[in-house]
Each structure stands twice: as C-alpha cells, then as structure tokens.
Structure 1
Amino acid sequence: MLDKLEFLEEKYKDLNAKISDPEIISQTSKWQKYVKEHAEIEPIVQKYREYKEVSDGIEDAKEMLKDKLEDDFRDMVKEELNELQKKEETLREGMKLMLIPKDPNDDKNVIMEIRAGAGGDEAGIFAGDLFRMYSRYTERQGWKMELMSSNEQGVGGFKEIILLIKGKGAFSKLKYESGVHRVQRVPATESGGRIHTSTATVAVLPEADDIDIEVSQNDLRIDVYRSSGNGGQSVNTTDSAVRITHEPTGIVVSCQDEKSQLKNKDKAMRILKARLYDKMQAEQNAEIAQARKSQVGSGDRSAKIRTYNFQQGRITDHRINMTVYKLDSFLDGDIGEMLDALITTDQAEKLKELNG
C-alpha cells in the first residue's frame, strides 16, 4: 500500500509542474485533464503526508524512550506515543478506502436508456413503470430529468425511452441499474389470472463531454426526415426528425421528439457520444473486468439483475441477494436503500481485492 501512495505522491508533484507549465496551459483540453487528475489525487496525497508526519513522530518517541528519562516525562512520551499509534492506524484505514479505484465517471450526468424486452405489450408497460420509478427517484434526489427520445407503444408504456439525468453524483448511484429487470405479475389484460414474466433492459451511460471523446464530422452520416407518431400535426409538417449514423461503428441514433431539427440533432449527438464513450470504456475495461471477481456494478446489460414480484410485493436484487418487501414505494422511487447496499458491497469487494 505504501508503494502505491509513494507513487501517487510522485505523480502529484509531476501534475503540479504540468498544470503550471505555460505550454500546457495553452492547450485547454490537456490542461483541464491534468487539473482534474490533480484534484482527484490531492486528498489522498495530503492524507499520506499527514501519515508520514505521524510515523516520524512515532519513531522519534520510540528513540526518546530508549534514553534515561524522568518518570513524569517518560509517562508523557508514552502517552503521546499511544495517541500517535492510534492516529496512524486511523489514517492507514482511511487511506485504504481512498485507494479504492475511483470511477472517473462517478460525478457525471447520466444518459439512461430503457427498452422493452421479452413479454410483448406487458414488457413495454413495465418499461414505463421503470421510467416513472427513476423519474420519482430523480425528484427525491433533487436532480433534473430531460426526455431525449421516446418510442411509445399503442397500449401504454414504451418500446424505448432515453433520458438525460442531471445531478451531482448521478452516475455513481445509477450505474448499478444497468442490466435486465424482470417483472412477475398478472397483466390487466389477463382474464385467467395467470402470472406473466416480462423483462426490460436498462442501460446507464455516463454523459460524455468533449474532453472524454472527440467525434469527427467526417465519420457521421446525418439524415433528416418527417417525424411520425404522437407528435401532433405541427411536428409532421417539417423534416425535423434526425438520424445520425456513426459509420466506423455502425451506431445509429434517431431523435424526433422536438419540433426543432437543431434540438433533435443536439440530443442525438449527446446520445451518440455517450454510446461511443461507453463502447470505448467497455473495450478498455474488458481485461480488468475479466480479472475482477466482483460483478456488482460491472454494467453487464445482458445480466438479469433484479426481479419485481407483484404477487408477493417483493423486489429481489440477484447480485447481492437482497430482498425488500415494499414494491409500491420502491416503484414510487424509494430505491435508495437498495442502491446504498449495492455501493457498500461493491466497495467491500474492491477493498478485498486491494488487500489481496
């Protein structure tokens, strides 16, 4: 652990020099990257420096106790040594927690994509339930939500809905929601009272900015067309809908919810950047994820993460084997307890790996 801290202190000194270098200051995006990195490691470097001071104090006290001292003075040194050793242990534990690799995306806004999975109309209705659940949670957190794109189905609910959620630490909490959500209930259309199982997939992407990813205009094909669906007559009279294709990856994003072509294009670009950034990170992290024992927060969107059982009024998260019996309030956005448990488990797993 001390080797890692020594390395971080050297890196901190190096970053100090870089952010003061006029040549780097003139390159805005590079300078911003270094400033951000500097700010991220500063707290642990300060804690490490405090730890080294305390360790030096312990060595000094031990050296003093080797000499012949008057009883009163010896007792005073012993007491101080005891206090310093307690402080050293507290600092050591604190540094361990701070050494857990911080997700660089934790403070970012979120682009959340909810899609109906298996189960026909019922899956779309469940996707709508999840949308309302996250809307209510967003309100409880004091965050803001913006609709980016939606594709409604005729009987209520959504085939797909894409949202932008803005708020401090939004990604740090919502990233654990990526995966397949399963619902077990009797649909309103089911006369025989049989329980149906349906699914919806949630993807939680960090909103990417220009520092994270650059998109060349030469790689884009942009098509405009008439909006369709429930936009109203005014939406359908102009070519306001926008489809952007990123040709190197084949990723396609369409937006038609706004009456303005410019607004639709802006929303489509933000979704595209988030998807490209997510793809880039997934490729970079593939080897790390393979080596990691913990699956919490891995963002595997093919994994079944949670079951919502209406008959029993329970929600079970399969990653941490946690069940709560408060379905109504949970679907009303009271999901904080579950998210906190996921964060705690993830931190514990990472701490175990760090110690291992």
Structure 2
Amino acid sequence: MAITSSLLDKLQAIRLRFEEIGTQLTDPSVISDTKRYIKLNKEYKELEELVAVSMDYKNILDNIESTKALLKEEKDEEMREMARAELDEMEERIPQMEEEIKILLLPSDPEDQKNVVVEIRSGTGGDEASIFAGDLFRMYTKFCEDKGWKVEVTHTSEGTSGGYKEVVFNVSGNGVYGIMKYESGVHRVQRVPQTETQGRVHTSAATVAVLPEAEEFDVQIRQEDIRKDTYCSSGPGGQSVNTTYSAIRLTHIPTGIVVTCQDQKSQLKNLDKAMIELRTRIYNLEHQKYLDEISSKRKTMVSTGDRSAKIRTYNYPQGRVTDHRVNFTLYNLTAVMDGDIDAIINKLQMEENAERLKEAEM
C-alpha cells in the first residue's frame, strides 16, 4: 500500500503540472514567445500518455475499494460472486499497470523525439553487399511509410550490380530516433547471391548508422569553418543528371567532416539538406561519447556505441531473422524485408526498459 500511495502522490503532482501547462498554452504571452511555447507544448505531449494511464490506474483503485465495500454489505450470493470475479480481474491488472507507469516515469531521452539521418553502407561481400544495402534501404522506406514518416534521400552511390555502396537519407516524424536508434550496427545476410553460379550460400554485410538530427541551437557552426564546393549531380555510370552545378559538397575544416547532397535540382535545397547533415555529424561526435557510456550498461544499445558490432542476421534459406542482442528469432523474413520490423523493435524496447528500471532501482 505504501508503494501505491507514493505512486499516487507522484501521479497527482504530474497531473497538476499537466493542467498547469495546459493553462499556460492558452496564455497570449506564452503563444507569442515561440521558443517557450514549443518547449511547453513538447512537455505537454510527453506527459499526455502518462496522465491518461494514471487516470485509468486511479479509476481501477477506486473501483477496487468500492467493490470491496459492496462485498461487505451485499447479501445476495449471485451478486457477491459477480463482484468477486470483477475484483479479481481488476487486482490482476494492477501490477501490470504499475510496471507501465514506472516505465513512463523514467526520464525520457531528449534525443528520442528527434528526426534522424540514416546511412547504410555495403560491407564485406562485394556486389552482393551492395544489393543487400539496397534491400535494407527498401525495408526502412516501407517501415517509415507505415509509420507515416517522411523519407528524403540526400546522397547515393550505386552498386555496379544494383543496390547501393552507400545511401544517406533523412527521416522526419514523431519520435523517430527513439524507434530507429536500435538499427545501428552491422546487419548480416546469408543467401545465394544473384551473382553466384554455383548456388552456394554466401554471407555478406551492410552497416547501418542512425544519427539523431541536430537542430540549429544544438550546435553552432561558423561559416568561415565551412568550405563549399558545387558540382554537377551524377547518376549511374557517372553520367551527369543535369548541367547546372546543383550538387553540394561541404567540408567542415576543424573536424574534417565532409557531406554531399545531390538529390535536389535546386542548389539551395541541396545546401539546406547538406547543412542539416553537417550539423548532425558534428553534434554526433559528442553524442557518441554518451552512446559509448550507455553501451557498457545496455545490451540493446551495444551496437550504437560500437558500429562494428553484428546486431542481426537475415538467413534466406531458413526464412529466419535473428537479433543477436536479445537472442530473438522470427521466421517471417519476407514480411521483415517488406518493412515489418515492429516485433523486433518492440522486443528491444522492452529489454531496454527492463534494464533502465533495474538501473533506477539500484
């Protein structure tokens, strides 16, 4: 009962804060202050789910008390039987709800709400690795479409037999990094390559890196630290896609980071996209230190801290997908390659939440 009372006190404080923010968001002085309004609106949305769950939790506790009172007074055996069954059902729900509330009470990672820059690079396996990188890009594109997220390609380098040696794209939407961050690491495929005449199964790999997109106030870049080059966008085989110098290459002199964008026909649009990616890469030099720190504590994030870590195997002969971090296997490879990776990500999120709860209790 002491735990329930303590939890209710926390939830009451959160509910009051939620109502306070709701009032502030209708205040003209807050609405006119864009930065403050955005910050409060973000906090309001973050508290919304917790407040909804806490209301359900309090309602069930109230119903349990009233059902217990009914049992003390009710003489009709049939009514008592119904009340007991209802009471058992409600009491069974309490531990699960408390677990859910504890997870929602954990401090959220501010990065989780960010958009992302994703880069997929072919690894060992030659042409087959490039084809597999293309398959992964298609998988993520379909996954993002299902989530209602926007995908914008900024840079591609095509493989000689299809797929990509490298593809870089932005994903924007609600809470993208919090879901996509689990995909960083080495993805391995086992199958008979299209280029293989003997019918032997080969193992190839591609590397995925998911970077939280840096906003302008996250990192300051001095214009004098950037070298900008323009050139003609090129397509497969190196032919020029257009004759104007619309493609952009930015070099950040202090760090040596180079980004290119040739997806848009407009030089200004390519420059905007290239600046987003440059900010993101500079920001992630610092963010990487944080990832390295948590990777030692959480197996779900091991690959994000060390991008050389093998995280998942896609085995075509067996129709099997295995995530090695949580030893989770599915036998629905076709669906997974069509973007159905929710079950894998949900498993990783559950594992990470369990690890975070353990850390909070220590």
Q: Does the pair score TM above 0.5?
A: yes
Q: Show structure 1 runs of 5+ residues with no match.
A: 56-70, 73-81
Name the counterpart of 2:84. none
Q: Deviations over 1:88-143 (max 9, x none)?
A: 97885454222223122323322211111111111111100101111222222233
Pair 1:299-2:304 in alignment: yes
Aligned pairs, number: 342
In the other structure, the counterpart of 1:340 is: 346
CA distance in 1, matches of 2:250, 2:286: 19
* 1:320 Cα deviation after fit: 0.8
Contact 2:294-2:301 within 8 A present in 1 as well: no
1:321 to 1:288, Cα distance in 2 relative to 1, 3 A: closer
Do the aligned residues in 1 keep the contact of 2:291 with 2:304 (CA within 8 Å)?
Answer: no
Q: 1:144 — aligned with what? A: 150
Q: Which one of 101, 105, 120 corresponds to residue 107 of structure 2?
A: 101
1:311–1:50 distance in 2 versus 1, CA, 3 Å: closer
Residue 127 of structure 2 corresponds to which residue in structure 1? 121
Question: 1:265 pairs with 259, 271, 281, which one?
Answer: 271
One-letter amino acid matched to 2:165: K
Distance (Å, rounded) in 1 between the aligned partners of 2:194 and 2:109: 42
Pick which of 224-233 and 37-46 moved more.
37-46
Relative distance call for 1:179 and 1:89 in structure 2 (3 A) is closer
2:343 is paired with a residue whose SS is: helix
- Please give the per-residue CA displacement for 1:309-347, whole angstroms capped at 9, x wherever unaligned: 112111110001111112122111121211211111111
2:323 is the counterpart of 1:328: no
Which deviates more from structure 2 when the two are superposed, residues 316-325 or residues 39-48? Answer: 39-48
Q: Quick check: 1:173 aligned with 2:190?
A: no
- Counterpart residue type for residue 188 of structure 2: R
- Give the 3 Å change call, closer, same or farther, for CA 43–213 of structure 1 in structure 2: farther
Q: CA deviation at 1:208?
A: 2.3
**Structure 2 partner of 1:185:** 191
Instruction: Please say if residues 182 and 300 of structure 2, whose CA atoms lie closer than 8 Å, have aligned partners that are also in contact.
Output: no
CA contact (8 A) 1:175 1:297 kept: no
Would you say the 8 A contact 1:125–1:157 is kept in 2?
Answer: yes
Q: Does the 8 Å contact 1:5/1:48 carry over to 2?
A: no
Matches within 5 A, 1:273-292: 273-290=279-296, 292=297
Deviation at 1:239, TM superposition (A): 2.0
Partner of 1:67: none
| Distance apart, 1:214 and its partner CA | 2.9
Distance 1:305 1:211, change over 3 A: same
Contact kept, 8 Å, 1:183 with 1:197, in 2: the verdict is yes
Question: Which whole-Å CA distance do the structure 1 matches of 2:57 and 2:140 have between them?
Answer: 42
Alignment of 1:154 onto 2:150: no
Distance 1:201 1:39 in 2: 34
When the two chains are superposed, the root-mean-square deviation of aligned CA atoms in Å is 4.2
Give per-residue Cα distances to partners, 1:205-248, cap 9 Å, x unaligned: 2222224333322321111123333386551x222221111222
